[in-house]
Structure 1
Amino acid sequence: MKAKDASSLGTPTTPELTLGLWPWNPASCRLQILSQLSSLCLEQRTHSLCYDFTINSKPAPGQQWCTVQGQVDHKNFLSYDCGLDKVKSMSALGGKVNATITWEEQNTMLREMGDTLKQKLADIKAENALETLEGRMTCQHKSSGCTSGSWQFGFNGRMWLRFDSDKRSWTEVHPGSNWMKEKWESDREVSEFLHKTSMGDCRNWLEKFLVEWEPELEPTGSVSPAWVCLATAP
């Protein structure tokens, strides 16, 4: 009996169709492509700095009206009480920078940010009886020199709005929050404040802190490769 040729077996004969993926599986191909894209993203040494604000217009006894938690690549390094104006270093990362001028500048600005957010919460509460505002300021820095910044806002642990500092644009995340988007979108002072703090202050702190931090951090920080790819997409 004659051996069947390759074409009768359905085996691809062209190099372009082999790629180690036979039998042909589109899902496997996509996974390999994503894997290669992830490898490219990993080459971007990306670090992020985040500050989580909790602003309470009616704090309970013993509760503070404003607290801030700071993370670098999702590692805690700072806890700040706006009301008492007290800051705590939460890890060895905080200990590396808590004696710097930048640390003091950071603390002063965090208090100012807390005061501004408290004022904005008062405006919101007057219209909608929302008492606790949660905000997250984030900035990223890549080895290429590119930076980005954003703010997220929400209530009761749910994000409502996102402000893209690069584009100075608002995105409604939670259905029903369009009233808040329209209110802040029309307030130029708010947009300028959010842009300045995330693209100016936060970025400046991160760049200066990285002088001390980078040897202790993972090469890509805690930003997932897929997120980095999406962040750089148009």
Structure 2
Amino acid sequence: MRSELLMIFLFVPLCPTVLHALRYFSTASSGVPNFPEFVVVGLVDDVQMVHYDSNTQRAEAKQGWMEKVTADDPRYWEKETQVSKRDQETYKDRISTLKKRFNQTGGVHTYQRMYGCEWDDETGVTNGFYQFGYDGEDFLAFDLKTKTWIAPTPQAVITKHEWDRDADQNERWKNYLTQECIDWLKKYLDYGRSSLLRTELPSVSLLQKTPSSPVTCHASGFYPNKIMLFWTRDGEELLEDVDHGEILHNHDGTFQKSVDLDLSSVKAEDWGRYSCVFQLSGVKKDIVTKLDPKVIKTNWVKHKVLMGVFSEQTVSQVTVCLQNTPPCFHNNCRRTHPQ
């Protein structure tokens, strides 16, 4: 699980995408105890599909439907494993090189890569991306239009010039990101059609901790994560006094999201003018929840009565519950890229 959590870095978008996406993340690390030196994670629409790490030394499917890939290519997993092992050695050397460029010696260091593509199945618009990071900061990025590399830090300029000179390789990367990657994305979507292309509507609740706290509109259980969740006043979307949370994973593969509304300056008689609206891509009907004190779930009254009388057993049970709630996340790898 730790290997999957480390993959959540700056490359991961915080906003819900409106596109289908195929992304691969590779992380090489040094000086991290009890953690694989190299991890590869592959995602289709934010769902883990493949995983490789330096401990297992093997590329593995993380979804049942990924086993279908061997029907098209019986050596798929063997090739994935070979490419990942090769990258493992390459990235280990790159960390050593970059430590010298940054005048570093010991400590924890990471070298990360993210690449992939996006496809809008309604408009047909596609996009590709290929980026590197070092110690959590952007290091290099590929410009699809110019087929050259962007170096945001002086230490990356040497590598930029070296890679810019390899025009043939850059042309291969452009072809992969704009064509071959899209083909594989469509293929994976077809493999996992029953789960990846399903639609699930959420339950929507209004929550409030105390009478002076913001009211939270919480939607949980939706799929896919191509959604909009927002507050309105008199039918118009509110852009002020709202705080949007990130889309989070549920343990069953669905998602959840919340958005807070600050009502400190709103008169009680005006509450009826406010509503929370949930929209899911591909579903015409919105889920609209009016701001009504009667439907708000809160424990503030009980909290005042029970303050100080929680038993040690109750606290212990809550603690155990939280500790046994595992985080969800993705995994890993890929083969079909230019060599």
Give the TM-score taking structure 1 as reference length.
0.57
C-alpha distance after superposition, 1:78-117 (max 9, x if no partner): 2212674423333xxx211223225853662464265257
* Paired amino acid for 1:73: D
Secondary structure (helix, strand or coil) at the match of 2:83 reads: helix
* Paired amino acid for 1:170: W
Secondary structure (helix, strand or coil) at the match of 1:129 reads: helix
In the alignment, structure 1 residue 80 sits paired with structure 2 residue 49: no
> What residue ranges of structure 1 are gaps of 5+ in the alignment?
1-41, 226-234
Q: 1:109 to 1:86 in 2, by over 3 A?
A: closer
C-alpha distance after superposition, 1:47-102 (max 9, x if no partner): 0011100134x576765443101112222232212674423333xxx211223225
- In structure 2, the residue matched to 1:207 is 186
**Contact preservation (8 Å) 2:23, 2:42:** yes
* Paired amino acid for 1:100: V
In the alignment, structure 1 residue 129 sits paired with structure 2 residue 100: yes
CA distance in structure 2 between the partners assigned to 1:117 and 1:189 by the alignment: 24
CA distance in structure 2 between the partners assigned to 1:189 and 1:89 by the alignment: 32
Give the TM-score taking structure 2 as reference length.
0.42
Secondary structure (helix, strand or coil) at the match of 1:100 reads: helix
CA distance in structure 1 between the partners assigned to 2:175 and 2:77 by the alignment: 14
* Paired amino acid for 2:64: G
CA distance in structure 1 between the partners assigned to 2:86 and 2:128 by the alignment: 21
CA distance in structure 2 between the partners assigned to 1:146 and 1:167 by the alignment: 19
- In structure 1, the residue matched to 2:65 is 96
Secondary structure (helix, strand or coil) at the match of 1:145 reads: coil
In the alignment, structure 1 residue 216 sits paired with structure 2 residue 195: yes
Secondary structure (helix, strand or coil) at the match of 1:108 reads: helix
The equivalences for 1:172-191 within 5 A come to 172-174=151-153, 176-188=155-167, 190-191=169-170
In the alignment, structure 1 residue 49 sits paired with structure 2 residue 18: no
**Contact preservation (8 Å) 2:57, 2:81:** no
In the alignment, structure 1 residue 152 sits paired with structure 2 residue 131: yes
CA distance in structure 2 between the partners assigned to 1:189 and 1:85 by the alignment: 31
C-alpha distance after superposition, 1:205-226 (max 9, x if no partner): 211111133453368965789x
* Structure 2 residue corresponding to 1:115, chosen from 47, 61, 86: 86
* Paired amino acid for 2:142: F
* Paired amino acid for 1:48: A
**Contact preservation (8 Å) 1:133, 1:154:** yes
CA distance in structure 1 between the partners assigned to 2:58 and 2:87 by the alignment: 18
State the superposition RMSD in angstroms. Answer: 3.9
The share of aligned pairs that are identical, in percent, is 21
**Contact preservation (8 Å) 1:85, 1:111:** no
> What residue ranges of structure 2 are gaps of 5+ in the alignment?
1-15, 102-108, 200-222, 229-339
Which stretch shows the higher mean deviation, 81-90 or 129-138?
81-90
CA distance in structure 2 between the partners assigned to 1:223 and 1:166 by the alignment: 28
Which stretch shows the higher mean deviation, 212-221 or 200-209?
212-221
Which stretch shows the higher mean deviation, 79-88 or 112-121?
112-121
- Specify which structure has the higher proportion of strand: 2
CA distance in structure 1 between the partners assigned to 2:25 and 2:158 by the alignment: 23
Q: 1:164 to 1:132 in 2, by over 3 A?
A: same
Q: 1:133 to 1:71 in 2, by over 3 A?
A: same
